[in-house]
Amino acid sequence: ADPVAATIDKASQQMIRRAQELGIDTCFDRNVTLKPCNIGNQGTCCKNCGMGPCRLPLPKDYDEKNDNRKGICGASANTIAARNFIRMIAGGAAAHSDHGRGVAEVFLSAARKETDAYRIKDTRKLLEIAPHLGVETTVEKDGEVLDRDIDEIALEVGEAAIAEWGKVGGELSYAKRAPEARYEIWKKNGVLPRNIDREIVEIMHRTHIGVDQDYKNLMKQGTRAAIADGWGGSMLATDLQDVLFGTPYPLASEANLGVLKADHVNIVIHGHEPILSEMIVVVAQKPEIVEYAKSKGAKGIQLSGICCTANEILQRHGVPLCGTFLQQELAIITGAVDAMVVDIQCIFQNVANVANCFHTKLITTHPIAKMEQDNAIHIEFDEHHAMEDAEKIVRMAIDNYENRKAEVMIPHQKSPIVAGFGVESIEYHLGGTFRGTYYTLNDNIINGRIRGIAGVVGCNNARVKHNEGHIAVVKELIKNDVIVLTTGCNAIACAMEGLLTPESAAVYCGPGLAEVCETVGIPPVLHLGSCVDNSRILLAATEVVKAGGLGNDISDLPVAGSAPEWMSEKAISIGHYVVTSGIYTVFGAVFPTAGAPVFQRYLFEELEKIYGGMWDFEADPIKHAWKMIDHIDKKRKALGI
């Protein structure tokens, strides 16, 4: 595998070459030796029962009117592709929402004061979300309105939040946070989620052999589950994390493998839940722990992150980003990682094999995510003794510092960044003179300095050149005055490229966007956090609607979504809740319905008539960006601006 062909990132190229010299395989090598299944990636392989797999590739002489392809049971290509698509939504929604549930459980423990490690930190945010969960924040007594006790509110919020996963009757409470017009569209189409778990379970039922055989009806269920993810599990995860750990505000940090330090104990935190990473951050700053590291000959402790947990601790504490999804093996190849601590999601099983070639301790921490390899150490993390667990992990890393055996080789590349944005800080920077609205942002959209808003998010995919699509799409957008909100691995890619600095505006932006960024002092690409924080993009769009002048629903806004290098089921769930929230969304890399053109047309064209948003696919990053810009222009025209 040619390192230069695998990634645009110099630091990654150096580490891929290093791995090859050492005879250690990485995903970049496996991408060459392992070819994808051409039928599976068209979405038309059904393996939902023991009569299959029934494989229905698109014939070379495909003729839509005479498409007689069917499985043993008679399932059409459309049915099979729709079943597979919504099973991906189920997987993604389950992952985000189960993460949210974990946070809600810790939140409830904190509200009940059963744990010392976690406390309600951001009471302002608590009071803001309480009414959306039906919890009163004031009480009337003798004709006077009094503030309710904060501990009582926290307890009721925790209980109401947990109920969102399994309540009987009613509907997802947060659905009403969407603009009223959006909520009415969901209601009219019968896609308001009942509770989070039920929608995921119902996907598994409907896609079982012999149940739902109408791709439109299957998608209706996919929509319910996706909305339950975006406006439910993910949004609750974001909100409750903010209450427990603090709402992010802009801060400075750095990104890329060069953040590792040869003379420090390096602990790389990889995964998704801040429940774990927050405690490691606390422990690693304790003076006695830093002293302990020094007693072992290190100058200190360097924490850094991979994947979304990196974004979580960056946003709230400024902990530097070590790398994206595709750099997880490369971090260990530096020989400088004393411990890699993982929890859930996006963790390559091969990190244990790579760690085995070095002194690196690979520590799994979550009961639902263990590894079969003997060198993977499992230290189960539990909110009731979180601080002790975190200390055990950090001490294990420190003790391992002196065991470094291979030559340490850390690439020098790292970029300065400004991160930590959110709905609240965008309001602060781009609100009106009277706080509480997005007036200045809307004003700049109406006067054309800002052409529109793009949410560019999502993974890396080893099947395409690492970060190439991310960076090309984002640069093309900002060059054309489209401000970018980013999360997940796209945010890390942009960070590594230097796009998360206010100074980058002068270099890469069109004149209108550059002027706004320079006046306000913000980067043209705003880092909004991890993948569950895509819920912040939904709420930011809702704030834009509320601020007025740009229509009365999200689907009226000059806004578009993108995931240039997606790969996970979570990305499909995100894409679908963004689409059904009214936003045109383009995916790159591959699209998993290519073998069923009729169903694909439903996603790409007909959904627009129902939800005002639709899917699209474009592998070429420049064309990809222009599809988004054209859509933004179409919406501007409709608004008469």
For ligand BF8, the binding residues (CB under 6 A) are: 272, 307-308, 325, 346, 458-459, 488-489, 530-531, 568, 570-571
- Provide the token pair at 7: 């990634």
In the complex with ligand BF8, the residue whose CB is nearer, 239 or 343, is: 343
- Provide the token pair at 635: 């919406």
Within 8 A by CB and 6+ apart from 235, the residues are: 174, 177, 532, 535, 538, 539
* Cβ neighbours around 577 below 10 Å, total: 31
In the complex with ligand BF8, the residue whose CB is nearer, 529 or 558, is: 529
In the complex with ligand BF8, the residue whose CB is nearer, 308 or 485, is: 308
The one-letter amino acid at 330: L
- Provide the token pair at 371: 């590894």
Q: What span, in angstroms and rounded, lies between the C-alpha atoms of 30 and 567?
A: 16
In the complex with ligand BF8, the residue whose CB is nearer, 259 or 571, is: 571
In the complex with ligand BF8, the residue whose CB is nearer, 155 or 307, is: 307
In the complex with ligand BF8, the residue whose CB is nearer, 231 or 325, is: 325
Q: Is 494 annotated as a binding residue?
A: no
Distance of CA 469 to the CA centre of its chain: 17
In the complex with ligand BF8, the residue whose CB is nearer, 325 or 584, is: 325
Q: Is 517 annotated as a binding residue?
A: no
In the complex with ligand BF8, the residue whose CB is nearer, 56 or 306, is: 306
- The minimum distance between CB 220 and ligand BF8, in angstroms, equals 25
In the complex with ligand BF8, the residue whose CB is nearer, 267 or 459, is: 459
- The minimum distance between CB 348 and ligand BF8, in angstroms, equals 10
Residue 479's SS3 state is: helix
Q: What are the DSSP E strand ranges found in 117-186?
A: 138-141, 144-147
In the complex with ligand BF8, the residue whose CB is nearer, 346 or 545, is: 346
Q: Is 54 annotated as a binding residue?
A: yes
Contact 571, 578 (CB under 8 A): no
What angle is formed at CA 518 by the lines to CA 516 and CA 521, rounded to 5 degrees?
100
In the complex with ligand BF8, the residue whose CB is nearer, 510 or 564, is: 564
Q: Is 49 annotated as a binding residue?
A: yes
* Cβ neighbours around 504 below 10 Å, total: 23
Q: Is 27 annotated as a binding residue?
A: no
Burial tier of 465 (Cβ tally within 10 Å: 0-12, 13-18, 19+)? middle
Contact 256, 415 (CB under 8 A): yes
Beta bridge partners, 254, equal 416
Residue 587's SS3 state is: strand
- The minimum distance between CB 407 and ligand BF8, in angstroms, equals 29
- The minimum distance between CB 279 and ligand BF8, in angstroms, equals 20
- The minimum distance between CB 245 and ligand BF8, in angstroms, equals 17
- The minimum distance between CB 615 and ligand BF8, in angstroms, equals 18
Q: Is 509 annotated as a binding residue?
A: no
In the complex with ligand BF8, the residue whose CB is nearer, 456 or 554, is: 456
Q: Is 346 annotated as a binding residue?
A: yes
Segment (H or E) for 1 = none
Peptide bond into 53 cis (omega under 30): yes
- The minimum distance between CB 346 and ligand BF8, in angstroms, equals 3
Q: For the residues of 102-132, what is the DSSP string, one character each? A: HHHHHHHHHHTT--SS-----HHHHHHHGGG
Distance of CA 95 to the CA centre of its chain: 11
- The minimum distance between CB 385 and ligand BF8, in angstroms, equals 27
Q: Is 37 annotated as a binding residue?
A: yes
Q: What span, in angstroms and rounded, lies between the C-alpha atoms of 226 and 402?
A: 48
Q: With both helix axes pointing from N to C terminus, report the angle between 468-479 and 488-496 in degrees, rounded to the nearest 10.
A: 80
CA distances to 60, 458, 464, 468, 579 from 620, in Å:
23, 16, 11, 10, 21
Q: What span, in angstroms and rounded, lies between the C-alpha atoms of 168 and 198?
A: 10
CA distances to 29, 88, 205 from 78, in Å:
34, 15, 18
CA distances to 169, 340, 470, 621 from 466, in Å:
45, 22, 8, 13
- The minimum distance between CB 277 and ligand BF8, in angstroms, equals 13
First to last CA, the chain: 49
In the complex with ligand BF8, the residue whose CB is nearer, 56 or 226, is: 226
Contact 514, 400 (CB under 8 A): no
- The minimum distance between CB 485 and ligand BF8, in angstroms, equals 14
- The minimum distance between CB 197 and ligand BF8, in angstroms, equals 20
Segment (H or E) for 372 = none
Q: What span, in angstroms and rounded, lies between the C-alpha atoms of 473 and 456?
A: 8
Residue 581's SS3 state is: coil
- Provide the token pair at 398: 């420190």
- The minimum distance between CB 492 and ligand BF8, in angstroms, equals 8
- The minimum distance between CB 308 and ligand BF8, in angstroms, equals 3
**Which residues contribute to the annotated binding site for [4Fe-4S] cluster?**
37, 45-46, 49, 54, 73
**Which residues contribute to the annotated binding site for [Ni-4Fe-4S] cluster?**
272, 308, 346, 459, 489, 531
**Which residues contribute to the annotated binding site?**
37, 45-46, 49, 54, 73, 272, 308, 346, 459, 489, 531
